Amino acid sequence: MLSPSGTRKARRQFVHRRLQMRLRMFALVFLVMLSIVTYDLVKFDTQVPPAIGAGLGGLVVGMLLARIANIKWHEEASQVVAKMDKLGILVLVCYLAFAFSRRWILGHWFAGTELSVVAMSFTAGVMLGRLVFMRREIIRILKSQQKY
């Protein structure tokens, strides 16, 4: 009988390597952003509610971005793959435009360290939302293929 880690390792073969790397990148960015936000909240005595609100807002945006991702089963490779479609590229461009202008947008309500905390909380929420919901979609596909 396989151990739980053995079954997890066996299931990884059914997920394309690029998709695995993308999920790892989301997890890493989320952890780095969460660490920075936590440090700023403690060190600079910034208010917590705006950070939580921005994180929850980012989670919703991340969920929407993950639902747009084109994740499907590739018959020839017998793996779950993700392809970027035209709508996904448009959403990515919109998100990048927001990412580069968020200080200008959010600067109307927040300043200084609080602005940084809110912006990083939002980004952390987006990464967590994408990670959780893409992983959920992968598990759904693997279950439909009886590989999970």
The number of folded domains in the chain is 1
The more confident residue out of 19 and 91 is 19
CB 77 within 8 A of CB 17: no
**CA–CA separation, 127 vs 121, rounded Å?**
10
Reported pTM: 0.81
- Residue pLDDT, tens place only, 39-86: 999 999 888 999 999 999 999 988 888 877 788 898 888 888 887 667
- Residue pLDDT, tens place only, 115-135: 889 888 998 998 899 899 999
CB 91 within 8 A of CB 65: yes
- Say yes or no to pLDDT of 91 above 50: yes
- Residue pLDDT, tens place only, 15-47: 989 889 889 988 998 999 999 999 999 999 888
DSSP, residue by residue, 27-45 = HHHHHHHHHHHHHHHHHTT
Query: Domain limits at 138?
Result: 4-144
Per-residue confidence band for 87, with pLDDT thresholds at 50, 70 and 90:
low
With residue 109 as reference, give the H or E element that holds it: none
Nearest CA-CA partner of 114 in 59, 61, 52, 57:
52
